[in-house]
Structure 1
């Protein structure tokens, strides 16, 4: 073995001690100028990259240049760039390439190096680097290969630049390269993915007279795309064309068709092709294989066709070797998504019995189903079963269970799961952290959420768009809209925001390094726009909408509905309809929320005829109204004095199986009482009790309306029933009732109610005694009046003593907690062409001319991040 081989072997031996390997390499290379040692460059480069020794990687080219001849050094530098690119360090590889080009301007790198860089840039989704590399190839005078053009076409297709890709494809021959079957396949796939299948077919037709051979992959791509677009006739024509060109459609062709149809929900069409493959041997169709059966099984499960899926499973079991782990997992997903958890549990047992051991994915499917149904104790038991069966829970398992506990507000148990996760050497990922972060914001634990973001950043977690959206949503809910807007700006500009000194959120925005690696999405802007609209800052919301469109983020129905709802609440229907027009022009359909907002707005203008027109339109479009829709209509009819029509709407609700809520009955009861039709109001009250239960709000509503309408006898009876049911008095106008009874010289009834309140130990206002005491005195019942007065004084004294005790206790609490008292215990902290056209419409038409911080609890989660790297 020569010296170089021994040296390389020594480097390999020190792979686990990269710093020692680096020092060893530097010493050998600096002491010898022999080019043979350059064979060790790829070895040391991979060691440094694996150890993330970035400073040493940057030193490596200088060390090579100093110690070796230029020709040999250039080869080594090319090798370093190649290894960096292949290892996913595209930015650093390009930086080294630029340095290489500067040092050797007359000796451009080979095209093979550019190809490696292009491939890595595409894998990392870096079209900006691809663009720069293409320009550098031209500047360097390096002749590209067909493979180079294929990579460039692929990058352009991935970036949505299909017409640029097509132009480059057409000009390949001018550059001395002929397109091959892969070139046309990449371009056709790009058109198909963009929903431009017809243009992909046009490209195929233009090439049919060329000597360019077309393989089955190109045809299969087009056939699948036509099937997805429900253009089965074109798909059948392509099948015939394949046969004419001597390309026999194989199982891949048919699997592609079936998969495409299942993916878009056309399960019956896919099932017909599958049945033909099973039965029609005369046509020479390929027989279904395991993949075909699994595709169909997945399709049936996705559409909730469990009976058909069961029948297919029985067939697969009879065949013998068609039931694989993938098949069982697909069936598990179908059962869990359709709520068949018990049956899914039996499938796990069957898998074990059939010697097909469930894997971590199998258990995670079950875990997800149990947590979604809030069966958390069962989910915990399933995790214990996994461990006993020798399968270690992974990050997905723990995160799913953690999410289950957080969604139920059980933060203490969630903390235990996190502790167990880390103690079992299962590192939380960004998704796990996002779950905890969302839970903290939801519970109002603002400062802890803030601290957690900083710890995520310190520990090197990549803060993704979801993290950003959680943070922005939390800030909006906390009333810190301006800070949320600044974070969005930072995400775009990749610079720290200038926040006021002393602001607790300044540290988040200025310290987070990874936040700007993720751009805002539609959800980001939806959150900001919704927050601005809620506080009436509609002009600023419009500006954010325009900014979103300028960033090529296309709005969805949710954003449009936010604007429509805001304008409708203001009664600005002209602006609401302008937004609606833009919404439909840009391909967003009206949603239930859209109709509810419009009905609310029209109701405020008493435009009943237009409301009925919207209801007819909802029926035509298959949009089912909900209780909110009907309540808005009932409110409008009641306000317009059309109580009978409103009652008909209530009957329609019941006929359609939509349960009215208390608000539905409240509006009608108040309307009947306003028109002095107390009999119908009381009948409706009885219906409400049956529909909504014996709720205090219903009793107090009916009672108050009776009192206000002078129906004293009925009010007294209803109040006594309420007392017998031990309902609360908060919303009852009982003082008015007793006062009215006294004025009507019904002192005995008033006194009886007082005695009942006392006997049932209700806490009520002591002034309620006064009209009864006065009435008894005037009537000459001095003794009874005096007894009642003494009773009032006794109750007042008891309340005063209770208040004094409360005040002393509160003072003690304040002394211990720094003056925060019960607030500390609660810890609540109140604290493209279409785009341009839409922007013009927004500027011109939308709404023109109309329009104590508290100490948080100790963080249950952050302690565990402190002690883990």
Structure 2
């Protein structure tokens, strides 16, 4: 009955019957629980198995180590909650069930799977204290976790321990970990395993050779890479295109173009990708004359494709040789190769490099007509060029098109576009483009929002600023000092004084300092609403050099009027220590001799007009007389 309820997903009813079974304490209850746990695990019902285990543990029944391992294995395999794995292991410890190497492997696997590599290593180190010796699976898990988190500093030591433990290498282990070592550029460890693999008569597969050859070439060990390729061919394995590409790229990095050509000839390579890599190498080195000749040779050999022509045209365009681009383009068409989107990208880049942006826009509109998609670098180059030549409408047109195609623009280029649009006073269009950016995964940063917010601030559109803030927070963008300043200005303009005070507190808490102008505006607004006391704690955290005499006067005056005389005196003491004299209003409050009727109506912004030593001295003389 319990099994049927569990398989049907009726957890509450199932739990009720398990408790009843435990309470009845029938003969064979523990065996029944074990059977239930294992049956649920076999059917992928992890939650049900865990529930039976939990009730069984509460009732002080002790499951066998094999049952615990079945449950742990299922939890790890099904990627269950990590805390559930910990729970099962803790219950085992409390019940005095000694773990096996499999138990600890499951625990290590769960730790590695959740990125807790240090904890996994700690469990690995303590295995012997628990009466277990690590096996090949243990080392496989630990090494895999180390590599995934690029913790290669301890990799050699773990490998040494593995070999000292006498673990035998198997085919899968080597074929999995040699490429992994190569990906993190640990060639020594990869070669060590490779040599041991061959010594154990284990045959490496194509992925092992590919990874090692790629790593050799990345480290510019070209002779070793070529020799390994020849050795692989002798075993009967056929090289993949990327192996030839890696070796050619290595020769090109060393400037050994003749050797690269000789390699392709000797190996009778018929992979266009390898020839394109050599052509790219010539172009990257600025050897365009040789690149041009090599391209003709590729055409004659039948090793040419559209990419080959586009490589040369693109590189010539990036150097601003637009005339040469069209020469190659003409030959491309004559040879029956049709220009495509990559060709047009190259030509647009070329026109941008020589500041012929009108021609670049004409090409772009042809691209749009054909509904092609350019690469991100071309879009960025075109938009940057159009912005700098103040062709902002065309730049916006390009951005809208690329966004519609799902292409993203670099944040730097996007901010440039937003800045120019705001300078033209088209803030609504800037907001519209920012929504396009979000849908096409073009990243916005505080500069993006600050630029638009400043434009909105100049137009006194405070509500729109707050809407933009909500979008900014939803996208996970952090606030900086400028954004805080704009927002506080906007809140003060809307008389949302308490919100402005709370935002100021948050700003200070985040370690930012408000500029003097905005701080004065905030304090004036707070004083006019008798709320200066709300920001006293934050003002005490601000560096004293930021506070000016007028700001001190606002604070002292405001606090005194609000009945916080003790705090007002503290700020006055700070002011006097700096050698600053209180203004007329503040002085009048403190000595009780001010014309309150005249002063109460005086705006705090105008207080500085009366901050004259002669006025204060005059008041003091009148009092003495």
Higher relative contact order (CA 8 A, sep 6+): 1
